[in-house]
Chains A and B, each alone.
Chain A
Amino acid sequence: MIEFREVSKTYPDGTRAVEDFSLVIPARRITVLVGSSGSGKTTLMRMINRMVDPSSGTVEIDGRDISKIEPVRLRRGIGYVMQNSGLLPHRTVAENIATVPRLSGVSRADARKRALAMMDTVGLVRTLADRYPSQLSGGQQQRVGVARGLAIDPNILLMDEPFSAVDPIVRAELQQEVLRLQKELAKTIVFVSHDIDEAFLLGDEVVVLEQGGRIVQQGAPEQILAEPANDFVATFIGADRGKRRLTISDAASRGDDRVLVDAGGYPVGVIAAPGGRLAVGHPSPKSRSISNKTDQAGDA
């Protein structure tokens, strides 16, 4: 569990990036901080591994005030995946993944073994192990970044817009990969995004932020979608544009499935309607991730 207590951050140039921010981030779930550019997401995330120290307030991990923990030690225990991979260009894929284990004193041979295993975990073929980052595609680089973040088996994984620089099809693939990994590993993941669709897809908990790190709404995606707290959220999630308001089309249908269209008349999916009745259910996150796979690829 990560807890922000009345945290503020003013940068030396006077920018008030975060003001009086309090939040509890639950363990072993994915919490997405979502907001437009400049809303303080990166600043908040970097306070968790002390890449940024708050001007006031405290950040606690499992009840421990992290300002008492030496930054280098703290960082070696927290995985961090950044937007443009941040891989070391002069080191191979395997060496990059093994960086933190090596820093922590794991032998070269063991670190390589672990790196190769991590490559399997994130879906990278082992033949890439001795390539350099510059020889990989953007999507492969991000997978290496994720593997590196997970290499020491951290409890906490920080992901700062990790997929925003890759093309939409690869992004959808990587998002599914995160859901799959999370099912296996159950980490405390803090994920930063400016993309509300990504937040709804990945987040167990979604925190919508305004400028200054002000929390406008927080809750499960279903809750936020059902009851946007105000106009800002409604606009942000696209509810006002009719993107989220779906209607059952009477035109095309196959068997008991009915086609859904949005307010603009665009088909967005099908809904099961056995015997003409709509089925009400509570799909678990598992089924959500599976059923979304095709949707996301289609969106791209």
Chain B
Amino acid sequence: MNLFGGAFAWILDPAHWSAGPDISGHLLEHLAVSGLCVLIAVAIALPIGIGIGHSGRGRGAAILISNIARALPTLGLLSILILLFGIGLLPITVVLVILAIPPMLAGAYAGVESVDRQTIDAARALGMTEWQIVLRVEIPLALPLLIGGLRATALQVIATLGIASAFAFGGLGIYLINGLAQADFVQLLAGAILITALALVVDGLLAAVQRLVVPHGVALGRSNPNDPQKRARAPRPRAVQEGMQS
């Protein structure tokens, strides 16, 4: 308790919020680098995942590649990249993007796969093009699971950046490294608390978004026990986790 009290006092100490590279600076840095990595991961994984979900092809390959990406030792890979490119933004970004792709990919294809096949078939029979099916039917209905994938991705990146940044970059991980190096456990714990808090806040915000994007008609259907189509849809965030582990 003493240690925790000390850590919170350390965080709240105005001196740590004003001088030079202070907490807010590291926080912003952490957020910016995480955001960049998540953005790149989304740009790569979202179209591929949606493509897999839409076509039903390439799922096996995606799972294989995801498993390989997850099995890579993050810190080992980071060390190699630092040796190759030097300390800086590039190595950390590469490592985090590799880490961030699997959950985003899983969220994307699980989301699109969860859309009722008959709904898609009907859309096609009406004369929608494949693009229109993706944009007007599959993505709107998959959105809750897509955001679920984004949540998992953001959590992964924010947490890992806390550890990895100690090697190569600033961010909140700096307090972990300094704390360890100086045997300053108050600072170490303060760093851990800050990273956890940031992760929780981001996750909370995305959870709120996830609830907001459930299409109105689908949300109504869930609360209507008489709805005959209900079983076919009702995507639940859990499916994302299942998809990630498969």
Contacts and interface: CB of A to CB of B under 8 A. Distances in A.
Contacts of A46: 125
Given A87-B122, A134-B229, A138-B228, A92 B217 contact: yes
Interface in A59-73: 72-73
B199 interface: no
A168 B180 CA distance: 75
B196 interface: no
Contacts of B215: 89-90
A76 B121 contact: no
Given A84-B229, A86-B119, A88-B137, A132 B217 contact: yes
Contacts of A49: 125
Given A89-B218, A90-B218, A135-B220, A82 B126 contact: no
Interface in A74-104: 74-77, 80, 82, 84-92, 99-100, 103
B235 to A, nearest CB: 11
Contacts of B118: 82, 84, 86
B217 A133 contact: yes
Given A103-B132, A135-B220, A135-B224, A75 B127 contact: yes
A85 B227 CA distance: 13
A82 B216 contact: no
B123 A134 contact: no
B160 to A, nearest CB: 35
Interface string A198-231: 0000000000000000000000000000000000
Contact of B127 (A72, A92, A133): A72
Contacts, number: 85
Interface string B215-240: 11110110010011110010000000
B128 interface: yes
A86 B224 CA distance: 18
Nearest to B216: A132
Given A88-B137, A89-B119, A89-B215, A103 B229 contact: no
Interface in B114-147: 116, 118-119, 121-129, 132, 137, 140-141
Interface in A162-185: 165
Given A134-B217, A135-B220, A135-B224, A89 B229 contact: yes
Nearest to A166: B228
Contacts of A138: 228
Contacts of A91: 217
B119 to A, nearest CB: 6
Interface string B54-85: 00000000000000000000000000000000
Contacts of B127: 72-77, 100, 103
A51 B119 contact: no
A148 interface: yes
Contact of B119 (A88, A92, A103): A88
A76 B216 CA distance: 27
A90 B221 CA distance: 10
A91 to B, nearest CB: 7
Given A82-B118, A84-B229, A134-B227, A89 B126 contact: no
Given A88-B137, A89-B229, A134 B126 contact: no
B126 A103 contact: yes
A52 B184 CA distance: 70
Contacts of B132: 103
Contacts of A132: 216-217, 220-221
Contacts of B125: 46, 49, 51, 75, 80, 82, 86
Nearest to B143: A90
Contacts of A75: 124-127
12 contacts: A46-B125, A49-B125, A72-B128, A73-B127, A75-B127, A80-B125, A82-B121, A88-B122, A88-B137, A90-B140, A134-B221, A135-B217
Interface of B: 116, 118-119, 121-129, 132, 137, 140-141, 215-218, 220-221, 224, 227-230, 233
Interface of A: 46, 49, 51, 72-77, 80, 82, 84-92, 99-100, 103, 132-135, 138, 148, 165
By Cβ-Cβ distance, the 9 closest A-B pairs, closest first, are A86-B122, A134-B221, A132-B217, A90-B215, A76-B127, A75-B127, A134-B227, A80-B125, A89-B217
